Amino acid sequence: MLRNLMIAAAALALAGCAGEKVLEGPDAPLDRLPDGLCYADTLVPHLRTELKYAGCDNFVGRPIRGYEGKRAILGRPAAEALARAARELAKLGYGLLVWDAYRPTSAMRDFYDWSKTADDAMKAQFYPNLTKRQIYAQRYIGTMSEHSMCIAVDVTLYRLDTGREVDMGGRHDLLDASSALDSPLVTPQQRANRRLLHDAMAAAGMRGYDKEWWHYFLPGEGPFTLWGFPVHDRMKPALR
């Protein structure tokens, strides 16, 4: 019971919706997407997806618990907001590349379990100036995330004409001061590229996180559900 209350409190704080109810969804594999959820690629034009936690290119260095597929899952309102941003960016020659969307609660527990180990194999690439304790203390990672509520994405830009990623001055999940939206540690052009993404996402109704130029979520009223079912690519569409 205490654990559930702690998770709910963390989720409410992240979503900016104090006083709203947080529900817990199933954590077993599903044959059909829950009502209100969708595969983002069914709504967002030109979307590319590379779920970093389904592979080894992440701060843990291995596939994360709960990632068994390659398609990004979002709540329909968040996917529709992402689609609005994508349509406007396409007019400028850009597409969206999603690195993470729905994240099972089992993944958050996996991150926390990893933080208690001596494994620092990915430190130089992902958190060169932080200890694992500081990663949590400085809120680069929390015990819960908007991702588990299907309202958040980690995203970047790519050029529609070449397919090449836009230079943002740092990789996904570089847990460092240089990853702040307006960090002076990157070039003016890299900051401008981050701002281009930010402005398109903000115009579509999504809110950023100033420590991580790639993270955006859709604020709302709730109630919010913390989902735990594994990510996989074979679920039937939601009934509504």
Q: Which amino acid is at 211?
A: K
* CA gap 230, 106 in Å, rounded: 8
Query: Is there a catalytic annotation at residue 80?
Result: no
Range list of β-strands (E), the chain: 22-24, 37-39, 48-49, 73-75, 94-100, 152-159, 207-209, 212-217, 224-226
How many Cβ atoms sit within 10 Å of the Cβ of residue 135?
18
Chain centroid to CA 173: 10
Q: SS3 for 107?
A: helix
How many Cβ atoms sit within 10 Å of the Cβ of residue 124?
8
Q: Active-site residue among 24, 80, 165, 212? A: 212
Return the active site residues: 212
